[in-house]
Structure 1
Amino acid sequence: MAAPIPLHPRHELQCSAQLEVGILRPNWLDGATYLGQRSVDGFLCNVWEKVDFITYFEDVVTKRPVHWFFYTGREAHVMTFEVGAVLEDSKWQAPVYCFDNTTKTSTDSATHSFLDGVLKGSAVL
Structure 2
Amino acid sequence: MKLDNPSMHLSPGNDKIKLTNIYSSNERSDMMKTFLSKMFTKKEKIQIEFCQNNLDRFTTDQTIAEYGKFLANPRIQYKEYECLSECKLCKETSYAKVNGQIMRGKDSHDLLDQLQEALK
Please report the TM-score for the alignment, with normalisation by the length of structure 2.
0.23
Greater relative contact order structure (CA < 8 Å, 6+ sep):
2
The structure whose residues are more often helix, as a share, is 2
The structure whose residues are more often strand, as a share, is 1
Which of these two proteins has the greater Rg computed from alpha carbons?
Answer: 2
Please report the TM-score for the alignment, with normalisation by the length of structure 1.
0.23
